[in-house]
Structure 1
Amino acid sequence: MRRVQVLIVDDSAVVRQTLTEALNADPGIEVLCAVADPILAMERMKTRWPEVIVLDVEMPRMDGLTFLRKIMSERPTPVVICSTLTEAGAATTLEALAAGAVSIVTKPKLGLRRFIEDASADLASAVKAASLANVNRLRPAARPDPALGVAPKLTADAVLAPHGPRALQQTTERIVAIGTSTGGTQALEQVLTRLPRVSPGIAVVQHMPEKFTAAFASRLNSLCEIEVREAKHGDRLLPGQALIAPGGKHMMLKRSGAYYYMEVVDGPLVNRHRPSVDVLFRSVAKCAGANALGVIMTGMGDDGARGLREMREAGASTIAQDEASCVVFGMPKEAIRMGGAQRVQPLHELPRALLEFSAGKRFEG
């Protein structure tokens, strides 16, 4: 069995030891070494280059962000950021994602060993997903039940009942729902920064830990003409605005008369995610029907694939990002396989597709 070769870079000896034990316990992963800072990492990498790097951000001698930029400019390699779950560190961690990191693994300040032991399956999954990433697309431009070993994979039924008849159509306001995961922070930036102020309201689920989504939305808001912010319970979804689902919460579209608004709720993990793309897409199928466009983008797994099919069955227009432009062609691939996607388009064509839909164009198929 082929094992993914990993290098751990973290200034905490406890983190290095615990991560090494947790990852080596997976038969599909081999930790080559664990070092205290990027200077030592570069020395080790002269003789053996890892397939995935697990990297802390705040370290002595050279910070993780500088090291990441150096790696991505010289020899692009999948990097998983291992960051403390704090608001203060969120902005720096998001800079790392923008610089080419694949994903975030969060670690608490206290109870670290127990946390990593409990979350070992999630850590291993993050490393394996990173090993499959198309890192050339990344150049700068909740825990499982210990009793089960792996969290039960719930569907959107756990949060929202399947839709019935097609949504009523007494409104002409069109909305867009986007779901994405691995590689999605960069992909969303490329799409949203190309939209003018006159754009449809957009609801976004990006798989991301809590406390990071607010900083992510704030960063996008500083780059975009449209307003981008983390959604709050009861927010109206308005034209010229994108609402990002908060990490650790599910987000659903609701309707009151001709108006759409967001419901932000607790609930179980769906497809092992909270927020879940399937939950958002199902709610859009129920409340917006043909007034909606669903877009599923780069990401590992199948979250959103069933929901996109439900949107299409409810009369919505649907798009899946194509393989060549994805960092990980998992979620779009499953949506295509299940028949949820009317179109398959590269990333650079998605902004135009959103505007065509907003202008009243219907997708064929």
Structure 2
Amino acid sequence: MKKDIGHRVLAAAKQRSQKADGSAQMHGPIGQNCEGRAQPLILLGASTGGVTALERVLTDLHPLGPAAVIVQHMPAAYLRNFVEMLNRQLPQDVALAKENTPLEDGQIRFAPSNGLHSEICRMKGKWTCRFSPAREADLHCPSVDRLFASAAVYHSDMIAVILTGLGRDGADGMHQMYLAGATTIGQDEASSVVYGMPRAAWELGAVGQQLPLRNVGPAINLAVAQHHENQGRV
């Protein structure tokens, strides 16, 4: 435990320094990147109650870990404030996603509320976000379903998480990812403010692990470590 605390403090200090000087050189078993091998990508979806849930999960993530892309149902002005607050609080680099900009280790990117969906693609060996127009029938924009579904083709490198929220956005997209072989995690009922989105995904059979909120972050870190091990990185 002492070693882990020391590692986290050191990693956080390094990441704070990287924010200040603009450098992004990653070190250590989770942050390292090997030429020609895909880093995993963490995808999260949340709605009602998601602010508190995301604060907890993101705090638990390894500071130098793989990039995370998040859809949180929230009006644009509130979302910008939330992102700015997280960027001040967390050692990671937190910002709104930009189209066709490479996603790097130690970054957390939120899908902007700009009337477009955020989707995942891979360009020149790098994960990136692309924006796509909303359809008239879409209930949510950005949509967790659209984010998850776009990543199903990259299933072996994906870790998808669905957190507290009203409705069922994300269930169908997560089901596609699960069937393809991605790692999928859902928040349990007892720790959810609204057990709507996680319930829909669970009942659809899309959730590989259903966990209390306190265990979601550690489970993501474990999945990242297993991905690295499978790729021969550790």
Aligned-partner SS, 1:360: helix
Counterpart of 1:338 (choices 173, 191, 204) is 204
Please state how far the C-alpha of 1:301 moved relative to its aligned partner. Answer: 0.5
Task: Confirm whether residue 282 of structure 1 aligns to residue 149 of structure 2.
Answer: yes
Contact 1:271 1:303 in 2 (8 A): no
Q: Distance in 1 between matches of 2:166 and 2:204?
A: 16
**Counterparts of 1:233-312 in structure 2 under 5 Å?**
233-247=99-113, 248-268=115-135, 271-286=138-153, 288-312=154-178
The answer as to whether partners of 2:40 and 2:227 remain within 8 angstroms in 1 is: no
* Of 63, 83, 86, the match for 1:217: 83
**Cα distance change on mapping 1:175 and 1:215 into 2, 3 Å:** same
The CA distance in 2 between the partners of 1:200 and 1:272, in whole Å, is: 30
Gaps of 5+ in 2: 1-35, 229-234
1:318 to 2:184 alignment: yes
Over aligned residues, Cα RMSD in angstroms?
A: 1.6
- The residue aligned with 2:194 is 328
Rounded Cα–Cα distance in structure 2 between residues aligned with 1:270 and 1:176:
27
Alignment size in residue pairs: 192
Q: For the residues of structure 2 that align with 1:352 and 1:205, how far apart are their CA atoms?
A: 20
**Aligned residue for 2:66?**
200
- 1:196/1:225 contact within 8 Å kept: no
Runs of at least 5 residues in structure 1 that lack an aligned partner in the other structure: 1-169
User: Which string of whole-angstrom CA distances, capped at 9 and with x for unpartnered residues, describes residues 57-110 of structure 1?
Assistant: xxxxxxxxxxxxxxxxxxxxxxxxxxxxxxxxxxxxxxxxxxxxxxxxxxxxxx
Residue 314 of structure 1 deviates from its aligned partner by: 1.6
Q: Does the residue aligned with 2:210 lie in a helix, a strand or coil?
A: strand
Structure of higher RCO (CA pairs closer than 8 Å, 6+ residues apart): 2
Contact 2:50 2:163 survives alignment (8 Å): yes
Alpha-carbon distance in 2 for matches of 1:230, 1:339: 31
TM-superposed CA distance for 1:269, in Å, is 5.6
User: How far apart are the structure 2 equivalents of 1:253 and 1:212?
Assistant: 24
Q: Which structure 2 residues correspond to residues 1-365 of structure 1 after superposition, within 5 A?
A: 171-247=37-113, 248-268=115-135, 271-286=138-153, 288-360=154-226
Displacement of 1:271 in angstroms is 4.7
Alpha-carbon distance in 1 for matches of 2:201, 2:137: 16
Identity between Structure 1 and Structure 2 (%) = 38
CA contact (8 A) 2:43 2:159 kept: yes
Contact 2:157–2:227 under 8 Å retained in 1: no
CA shift for structure 1 position 244: 0.2
Cα distance in structure 1, aligned partners of 2:41 and 2:181: 13
- Give the CA deviation at 1:172: 3.1
Q: How far, CA to CA, are the matches of 2:200 and 2:57 in structure 1? A: 22
Query: Match of 1:197, SS?
Result: coil
- Show CA shifts across 1:145-203 (max 9, x none): xxxxxxxxxxxxxxxxxxxxxxxxx7331011100100001110111122232211101
Q: Segments of 4+ in structure 1 off by > 3 A?
A: none
Q: Quick one: distance in 2 between partners of 1:172 and 1:233?
A: 19
